[in-house]
Every structure is written in structure tokens, then in C-alpha cells.
Amino acid sequence: MAGGTTQGGAPGARDPKVPSLEFPSADNEAKPQKCLVFFIPGNPGLVGYYEAFLGTLRELLDGAERRTASRFSFHIYAQNLLGFDAGDHDPFGNPPHSRPPFTLEEQVCHFYDRLLERSTIPLSGGGTRPAYDKVIIMGHSVGAYISIEVFHRHHLELKAAMERQDLTNNTQTPAASVSLKAGIMLFPAVSHLAKSTSGQKLEMIRTTPFLDSYAHYIAKLFIDLWPYLMLVVFIRLVMGFPAHVAGTTARFLKSRDGIWQAIHLAKDELKHITEEKWSEDLWEIADVDGSEGAADKFFFYFGEKDHWVADECRNEFIERRKGHAKGRTTVVVDEDKIPHAFCIHHSEQVAEKVMVWVDEIAKT
């Protein structure tokens, strides 16, 4: 796993078998502070697609940790979206004997719970303490939307706790123990998904009754005609995918419920990723005591031409961030012609760009 390890753990799923990747620091004990980089994939939500990207980021972070002036050791954690592995759920179908595919809201709730679980340490006397001095959440595509939603819910929980004045002891609640400092959003699909070119095609499927009900069955029947090894060879040689991407794609296509989950989630994204609905104070820097900082809180990397992000929606999003007086958001529009699915051929390039931001967050 290119330095990564897999493990389970999935609150709300049937059992703790949601595939994940971890890239721990080799210098963990030598540094006074620890930072968690918590990564959420896009759809289809398999962390195997990001093995090269996260492995390269790990190597870059190793270099940063070797600097004598560096205070932080970094731990990278990534997990599948729910529903893409047979081990994390009962078979999809009609209730009561089976469950439907996971919705976007269920993904958000799961990752919020997972973030709290990964970022805190339970105390024997009750409550929790921080497992990391800083937490960075990172998402790709719809994973960026999920990341912002997680950030938003954490923000609201802290505000409610402040109003109750129960943050005097930082160990009382998991949310208060999570030092969620920044978000990094890669090729983010965060508003009006149906206006993108791929969103328009998907909307046609969603609004055509026969396709809406049976598109996943048709796709699965076609894929089942292909033996696994032949599918890998086709993806590897004809489509030109790297070995790890070809293997991940073949496993996804041949999985019990993966195609159904991907299509169902994508249609749900169309219904919910519409007008931006987050409060303006989400974009501001503020610690739990209400004090404002000087560092940026969010970092967005948009594609120049992205088939999942309409140009006008991207530009409107950027203008709103510019117009927010107290906002701390860096936005970059790609100039290197890197595609939306960067993890296929451009993992190293994007890891180098992300590393600059991670380093900046850690220094502030």
C-alpha cells in the first residue's frame, strides 16, 4: 500500500470493515506536536484511487518533518465512502430485508462521526482529550462538499457549546477536543452540480423514469459479461490507467453493490448540491474563544475546465469569497490542465501543490 496500512472502523455501518488507508509518520515521537490530515474521496468513493497521491504527500511530509525547525509530525488517514465495499453494509435492495444505497446526508454524518472518533482519545472518567494538535480535512470532488459540511457541523456544535458556556473544560465533548483548523478542497463540486456538463447528463438519467430505476442494473449486467482479468487488461491497456487505478476500477465495477451506490449517490448529489447554503461565519477564522486568527482557513483548487463544475458557478463561488470581509480563503484555478480525476495521472503534481498549503497551515 505504498507505505499505507488498511484498517476498519465505521460508526453507523453494519460492521467495522470500511476500507481505509493510513500513512503514519516515521518521526512521530520526535516532534512536539501532531497534525492529522483527514482525506475524503470523491465518487466513486474508493481510497485505492488515491494511493499514489497520498503516498507522494507522505513522502513530501517526511521531508518537512526532517527539517529541524519543524514542530509537527503528520498522520494521513483516508476512508472509502460508505457503500462501495460489500463488507460495510448489508446487500442493497428493498426493505425490510435489505437497505437502499447510502445517501449524501448519510455520508456526511458518517464522516463527521469518523472525524470525531479519529481525532479524540476517550478518558476513563468520561469525556475526551485531543489526539492531535491540529486537524486538516481534505476532500476531492463531492468529498470537498462532504468536508465543508463536516466543517460546518463542527462549527455549529462549537457555537452551541459556547452559548451553553461548557467549553471551559476542553475534555467534555468530542467536538471541543477536535482542533479542526483548515480545509483543503480539490476540484470541489460544491454548488449547482446539475449545471455542469456531466451533471446535465446525469440529470437526464435521473429524470427518465426507466433509466432512473434501472440504469444500475443495466450497467451491472454489461460489466458482468467481462471476466475480472479481462476488465483489468482493458482498463490498463486501452484506457491507459496506471496499475493501481486499473485494479481499483475493476474491483469497483465487479463489486456487489458499487455501481448502484455510485449512481444512487450521484443522483442524490444533484438534488442537494445546489445553492450554497453555509453561513457566512463558517468562512471566518475564529477559535472557540471567538478570537480571530490571521491564517487562511480554506484552500480551494479548481480545475480550469471541469466537467463536474460549471464555470459560472465556480466564478460566482470565487466572487462570494472575495466579497466576504472577514473571510480567509485561498482560491487557485488550475493552469496546468490537470483534469478533475487528478488521481489517475497527476497525483504527484497535485500532492506538491497540496504540500505547500499543509506546510503553511502547520506553521500558523
**pLDDT given at position 176:** 87
Instruction: Tell me the CA distances in angstroms from 302 to 104, 147, 280, 310, 336, one per residue in order.
Output: 22, 15, 21, 11, 11
**pLDDT given at position 169:** 52
Instruction: Give the H/E segment covering residue 362.
Output: helix 347-363
pTM for the predicted model, two decimal places: 0.91
164-168 mean pLDDT: 61
Residue 145 has pLDDT above 90, yes or no: yes
pLDDT tens for 237-247 read: 999 999 999 99
- Boundaries of every domain in the chain: 20-193+276-363
Residue 92 phi/psi, 5-degree rounding, is -70, 150
Going by their DSSP bridges, the two strands 298-302 and 180-186 should be labelled as parallel
Strand partners, 38: 77, 137
Question: Which amino acid is residue 233, in one-letter code?
Answer: V
288-311 mean pLDDT: 80
**pLDDT given at position 166:** 58
What are the counts of helices (DSSP H) followed by strands (DSSP E) for the chain?
10, 9
Picking from 272, 258, 103, the residue whose alpha carbon sits closest to that of residue 199 is 272
**pLDDT given at position 127:** 83
CATH number 3.40.50.1820 is the correct assignment for the domain at 20-193+276-363: yes
Residue with cell 462521526: 113
Residue 293 has pLDDT above 90, yes or no: no
Instruction: Give the H/E segment covering residue 329.
Output: strand 329-333
**pLDDT given at position 270:** 96
Cα distance between residue 233 and residue 181, in whole Å: 43
pLDDT tens for 230-281 read: 999 999 999 999 999 999 999 999 999 999 999 999 999 999 999 999 988 8
**pLDDT given at position 59:** 96
**pLDDT given at position 12:** 36
Who contacts 175 (Cβ-Cβ below 8 Å, separation ≥6)? 116, 154, 157, 158, 161
pLDDT tens for 41-70 read: 999 999 999 999 999 999 999 998 887 677
Instruction: Tell me the CA distances in angstroms from 37 to 22, 57, 182, one per residue in order.
Output: 10, 10, 10
Residue 50 · residue 40 · CB < 8 Å: no
